[in-house]
Amino acid sequence: MNATVETLRNKLSADSIVDGGSLSERHFVDWSGEHPCAPIAVVRPRNIADISIIMQQCSRDRQPVVVQGGLTGLSGGATPRPGELAISLDRLVGIEELDAAAGTATVLAGTPLQAVQTAASEAGFLFPLDLGARGSCTIGGNIATNAGGNQVIRFGMMRSLVLGLEAVIADGTVVSSLNKMLKNNAGYDLKQLFIGTEGTLGIVTRATLRLYPLLPAKTTALCAVADFDAMIDLLHRLQAGIGGNLSAFEAMWDSYFGYVVEHVAGLRSPFDVRFPICVLVESEGSDARADHDRLEAVLADALAAGVLLDAAVARSEQDRENLWRIRDGIAEITPMLQPMLAFDVSLPIASMPSFLAQIDRAARARSESARLLVFGHVGDSNLHVAATTGREQDFPALRDIVYGTTGEHGGSVAAEHGVGTLRKQYLHYSRSAEEIALMRRLKGALDPLGILNPGRVIPD
Amino acid sequence: MNATVETLRNKLSADSIVDGGSLSERHFVDWSGEHPCAPIAVVRPRNIADISIIMQQCSRDRQPVVVQGGLTGLSGGATPRPGELAISLDRLVGIEELDAAAGTATVLAGTPLQAVQTAASEAGFLFPLDLGARGSCTIGGNIATNAGGNQVIRFGMMRSLVLGLEAVIADGTVVSSLNKMLKNNAGYDLKQLFIGTEGTLGIVTRATLRLYPLLPAKTTALCAVADFDAMIDLLHRLQAGIGGNLSAFEAMWDSYFGYVVEHVAGLRSPFDVRFPICVLVESEGSDARADHDRLEAVLADALAAGVLLDAAVARSEQDRENLWRIRDGIAEITPMLQPMLAFDVSLPIASMPSFLAQIDRAARARSESARLLVFGHVGDSNLHVAATTGREQDFPALRDIVYGTTGEHGGSVAAEHGVGTLRKQYLHYSRSAEEIALMRRLKGALDPLGILNPGRVIPD
């Protein structure tokens, strides 16, 4: 019997508190699956006023809370820690306005990403954030983690797509900054405090999102190159050659590509031979024929210059889907590679080859059966590494190898999956003592009692 | 004889302190020209360590400072207030690194914008921030004000172009976050604290900037439309029709356009008749012929649909320069319109027509000789209004009319020129009490003694 829960039961509607035997295990852990823990209760606010009441009461009682959206995070940020009250935003769902003149959508934080994509598309717009968990993840979670995905090279991360937002801070104050304008410098841009801070500075409740015109023409190609330098040369040729239309540049080293095409049923490479690196390239524009011709011309030049070894341009939507299935094959091979660690790091592009050589060498020195599958959003400086030695005991050593080497190269131990509880101990590889002290100072200013998603992001 | 100045004279090199008769009036006021005031001295740090020493000493002595870059601001932010020590970044100049693989430039904060544009261009890159003061304004000032300019519709404001930065906070701590990567979510994104906060939370000392591939092909056109709705229809057609290549959409109402072409020597309209609104449209891409054809096709369709009344596509660089001179003509007509107020507001696009009708009506009610010249970056929701009644006594009334009406329509009283000291009293039209309280809380957390650019941005 928790006093805060009992007080809230009186202050909110009866169905807003779920506890005891009614509690679903869904609320115990995020998609990382690590360290599940039951919250003392789940409170399901119906509106923003409810959230304000909850936080006022939790402040009075110094009751720590964990905020939950779609629970699709991979870093433990939404997994309860012992004694926490979970605030689920699953009733805060809906698109409140779609302003066609401004090209904006104002949505409640619990709205699934896919619902926003669909509503935008039905109104003739594109909401360009896209990631595998689109059906379950929520806009609030996308904002809290500054989500990335496949189109960052063109449209930026979630931070670039949020024009305004509303948040409830730890003491229950509702701070509403629902701006619709691209340019607004009327004082501090407060929304930045709540984007990418994983719910530690406030609970995002609403957002005004930037929409783009729908681009009907997609051209997709798989490009084979001999090495890293050729891949970067190709990237620069595409950036110069197809102008603002380049919307994906997804690299797959053969360690990944070869494994996927060999192990996933029904998938095949468009090439008869294996290449060191394959890159999935996509252009999005408004003129299918012209865009296609322009991409082919850039690729033909690169082939003639010896930069490209081979290329396969998708001739049908089925071709295109096949190419994307190779890129998305990580979901299908993950179960086959267990016990496996999934790293999400970013690095200055010039450092990537030495980073990869170094982690490969170190992992093999640790275990002869070490296997590193490498792929990622190279145009965004973001690499994903699936690492396994076949033995879970090697996890700490693998983490030290990958995060330590990332730090040596000035990289980031958390590119797009957040820090949460599971990666905060590695933050020092990417952030200085002064940076971490400033994060603490901010946390102290906005949440002096330390009740909002405590123990996330900032190292203890 | 100020004790802090004397202590700093001992701690820094002899030529780092300028005071007394050697003090140049250049340091007394920014380009607004309003309320010039001599600082107690100007200190000219040679490096970041000097800035840290200065701020440590000023913290000890509770000595308020004002930070100065190119002094091209229009809101009084860099103009000293009585008793302030000016820190000039005029020796902190230089491009420290241009990383072609990453597409980044790391520069010292006192470097002029144009020097960065030139260095990028020489290396085959575009640094897309551009504004009239490019030769004098500095990167540090561009960051502090989150500068905008003509290409925001495509590349975003300065915030989108800063990948990493370094700042010295009020107590002298150097916080270095010189990230080169597009994706980095390793904890709070601290650079956001220093972008657009006008030096009130820290002194920006270095930045890592995002470069784009140079786009050689520019196509420019002047488009005439009958009304606001047709202009927005044209904007949407261009966004859909030339994909990511649209880099400028600069609207000029006839109140502005007609005045400029009549009063600026050597300028002429490409049209024989006057139109309600003309829009300067520019596309930037990699294929001159194809880009030109595509823009012409979109314009031809718009003409056939009755959206466009007429269009003139630039056939030469001279044509292009003539069109831009009309847009940039505000600099040339400003002296002719004195006494004049220059407003820089942003508004949800759908509200613009009623906003304009309302301020026009109110200004005319105030004075029969009221004249409002309207132009701006409509695609970015940003309008500039040059307003005059011929009498300086009407300034307060004109400010109340324009800022009050902006507030009524959910707009921003400061789109891209900052708040400084001159606009802070109007901030409440755009920001709620909760937002302003949160700004104060942040300021208190980072600068508890209130010595860093005090009295700027946040209302008293």
- Cβ-based contacts of B239 with chain A (< 8 Å): 212-213
Two structure tokens written together for A309:
């070894």
Looking at residue B84, what DSSP letter applies? P
Q: Which residue of A has its CA nearest to B234?
A: A101
Residue B193 has pLDDT above 80, yes or no: yes
Query: How sure is the predictor about A240, in pLDDT bands with cuts at 50, 70 and 90?
Result: confident
Q: Give pLDDT, residue A288.
A: 85
- Cβ-based contacts of B102 with chain A (< 8 Å): 348-350, 381
Two structure tokens written together for A299:
């690729």
Look-up: residue for tokens 């006023």? A49
CB-CB: which of B285, B379, B415 is closest to A243? B285
The interface residues of chain B toward chain A in range 290-309, judged by CB-CB distance below 8 A, are 290-291, 294
* Cβ-defined contact of A101 to B445 (cutoff 8 Å): no
Please give the average per-residue pLDDT across A193-214, as a whole number: 96
* Cβ-defined contact of B243 to A244 (cutoff 8 Å): yes
Helices B395-408 + B352-366 axis angle, to 10 = 150
Residue B147 has pLDDT above 80, yes or no: yes
Per-residue pLDDT tens for B233-271?
Answer: 999 899 888 877 899 999 999 999 999 999 999 999 999
| Shortest alpha-carbon distance between residue A239 and chain B (Å) | 6
Range name among A302-306, B331-335, B451-455 with the lowest pLDDT average: B331-335
Q: Give pLDDT, residue B127.
A: 97
- Is residue A342 within 8 Å of residue A34, measured between CB atoms? no
Per-residue pLDDT tens for A38-74?
Answer: 999 999 999 999 999 999 999 999 999 999 999 999 9
What are A110-115's contacts with CB under 8 Å, separation 24+? A110/A69, A110/A138, A110/A139, A110/A140, A111/A138, A111/A139, A112/A70, A112/A136, A112/A137, A112/A138, A112/A139, A113/A137, A113/A138, A113/A139, A113/A142
Two structure tokens written together for A458:
């900032």
Q: Which residue of B has its CA nearest to A229?
A: B101
Residue A1 has pLDDT above 90, yes or no: no
Residue B43 has pLDDT above 90, yes or no: yes
Query: How sure is the predictor about B306, in pLDDT bands with cuts at 50, 70 and 90?
Result: very high
Q: Give pLDDT, residue B216.
A: 80
Look-up: residue for tokens 């420290």? B96
Residue B185 has pLDDT above 90, yes or no: yes
Of A294, B342, A112, nearest in space to A129 by CA: A112
Two structure tokens written together for A268:
């095949």
| A376 near B CB under 8 A | no
Looking at residue B412, what DSSP letter applies? B
- Is residue B212 within 8 Å of residue B157, measured between CB atoms? no
Please give the average per-residue pLDDT across B426-439, as a whole number: 97
Residue B145 has pLDDT above 90, yes or no: yes
Distance CA A8, CA A360 (A): 53
- Is residue A411 within 8 Å of residue A430, measured between CB atoms? yes
Q: What is the DSSP string of B130-170?
A: B-TTTTT-BHHHHHHTT--BTTHHHH--HHHHEEEEEEE-T
CB-CB: which of A175, A242, A349 is closest to B101? A349
Query: How sure is the predictor about B50, in pLDDT bands with cuts at 50, 70 and 90?
Result: very high
CB-CB: which of B197, B287, B436 is closest to A294? B287
A403: three-class secondary structure by DSSP: helix
Q: Give pLDDT, residue B102.
A: 86
Distance CA A375, CA A454 (A): 33
List Cβ neighbours of B386 (8 Å cut-off, separation of 6 or more): B256, B330, B333, B334, B337, B340, B341, B342, B343, B372, B373
Distance CA A347, CA A380 (A): 9
Q: Give pLDDT, residue B329.
A: 92
Q: Give pLDDT, residue A317.
A: 93
* Cβ-defined contact of B183 to A284 (cutoff 8 Å): no
Residue B101 has pLDDT above 90, yes or no: no
Two structure tokens written together for B414:
């400061």
Distance CA A165, CA A108 (A): 10
Q: Give pLDDT, residue A447.
A: 98
* Cβ-defined contact of B382 to A181 (cutoff 8 Å): yes
Class of residue B396 by CB neighbours under 10 A (exposed 0-12, middle 13-18, buried 19+) = exposed
CB-CB: which of A183, A284, A346 is closest to B416? A183
Q: Give pLDDT, residue A242.
A: 86
pTM of the predicted protein model: 0.96
**ipTM score:** 0.95
CB-CB: which of B186, B239, B441 is closest to A427? B186
Q: Give pLDDT, residue B362.
A: 98
Q: Give pLDDT, residue A453.
A: 98
Q: Give pLDDT, residue B245.
A: 86
Please give the average per-residue pLDDT across A332-347, as a whole number: 94
Residue A290 has pLDDT above 90, yes or no: no
- Cβ-based contacts of B457 with chain A (< 8 Å): 187-188
The interface residues of chain B toward chain A in range 104-133, judged by CB-CB distance below 8 A, are none
Residue B1 has pLDDT above 80, yes or no: no
Q: Give pLDDT, residue B214.
A: 87
Helices B288-304 + A288-304 axis angle, to 10 = 180
CB-CB: which of B186, B243, B445 is closest to A445? B445
Per-residue pLDDT tens for A375-418?
Answer: 999 988 999 999 999 999 999 999 999 999 999 999 999 999 99
Please give the average per-residue pLDDT across B101-119, as a whole number: 96
Query: How sure is the predictor about B110, in pLDDT bands with cuts at 50, 70 and 90?
Result: very high
- Is residue B143 within 8 Å of residue B207, measured between CB atoms? yes
| A195 near B CB under 8 A | yes
More confident residue, A309 or A102: A309
Q: Give pLDDT, residue A206.
A: 98
| B250 near A CB under 8 A | no
| A97 near B CB under 8 A | no
List Cβ neighbours of B86 (8 Å cut-off, separation of 6 or more): B27, B39, B41, B42, B43, B65, B66, B67, B68, B80
Class of residue B310 by CB neighbours under 10 A (exposed 0-12, middle 13-18, buried 19+) = middle
The interface residues of chain B toward chain A in range 433-452, judged by CB-CB distance below 8 A, are 434-439, 441-442, 444-446
- Is residue B170 within 8 Å of residue B64, measured between CB atoms? no
* Cβ-defined contact of A181 to B212 (cutoff 8 Å): no
Residue A432 has pLDDT above 80, yes or no: yes
Query: How sure is the predictor about B374, in pLDDT bands with cuts at 50, 70 and 90?
Result: very high
- Among left, alpha and beta (phi > 0; psi -120 to 50; other), residue A173 is beta
Q: Give pLDDT, residue B405.
A: 98
Q: Which residue of B has its CA nearest to A243?
A: B285
- Cβ-based contacts of B412 with chain A (< 8 Å): 179, 181, 183-186
Residue B49, CA distances (Å) to A21, B64, B111 in order: 60, 19, 18
Mean pLDDT across chain A: 95
Start-to-end Cα distance in chain A: 29
